[in-house]
Amino acid sequence: MKKSLFYVLIFSLTLLSCKKDPEIEPTDDNELITTVELEFTDSKNVTKTFSFQDLDANSITPPDKFESIVLDANENYEMEVKVYDDSRKPRVDVTEKIEEDAEAHLFVYKITPASLFSLKAKDKDKNNLPIGLKNTGKTQGKGIGKLHVILKHQPPANGKRTKTGNEEIGSTDIDLEFKLEIK
């Protein structure tokens, strides 16, 4: 009897001492994005729009549209991003959702070569962190490169903010690499 009681006590202590790590509970889901439009407006107020579109939202099949970006050399630009879900009718303006939930979204832009074009976010969320829907930039001399557009989804987890301006945090809603030509 003493032996059985001893084993029950050891078993109970073992169970009580095993702590499970708390699960991280995100508060919202990633957006479905089928269309991305980049609008570049130059110093003369001329706007050029370049699009990516993948209506079936399947990364295995080729996109329906993936335009190369062509900009003028030595020019200042305002660049605005618009994103949509065209899988529904009428189309859903995901840009509005990103603006409403700015504390959980971060656009990241990587230009190669970096000397080709500089780009900086103008818009900030309520925590003064960049969003990247509205940007300002300047092209340098002529050249060919790439503009990598990434949208990070960084919702709060367990009631705590995760967006810090760090692109490594969160999941990815958009990851596109546009061909870029400066003429």
What pTM does this model have? Answer: 0.82
The one-letter amino acid at 137: G
Predicted pLDDT of residue 171: 93
Compute the distance between CA of residue 159 and CA of residue 31 in angstroms, rounded to an integer.
Answer: 20
Kindly report the length of the chain.
183
What DSSP string runs through 10-52?
Answer: HHHHHHHH-PPPPPP-BSSPPPP--EEEEEEEETTS-EEEEEE
Predicted pLDDT of residue 30: 74
Tokens of 88: 């529904």
Predicted pLDDT of residue 29: 64
Compute the distance between CA of residue 39 and CA of residue 77 in angstroms, rounded to an integer.
Answer: 9
Q: Between β-strands 171-182 and 69-71, what pairing exists: parallel, antiparallel or unpaired? A: parallel
Compute the distance between CA of residue 118 and CA of residue 98 in angstroms, rounded to an integer.
Answer: 23
Compute the distance between CA of residue 74 and CA of residue 36 in angstroms, rounded to an integer.
Answer: 25
pLDDT by 10s per residue, the chain, length 183: 544 444 444 444 444 444 443 443 444 567 799 999 999 999 999 999 999 999 998 888 999 999 999 999 999 999 999 999 999 999 999 999 999 999 999 999 999 999 999 999 999 999 999 999 999 999 999 999 999 999 999 999 888 899 998 999 999 999 999 999 999
Compute the distance between CA of residue 161 and CA of residue 108 in angstroms, rounded to an integer.
Answer: 18
Q: Residue 67 contacts by C-beta under 8 Å, 6 or more apart in sequence?
A: 50, 51, 52, 178
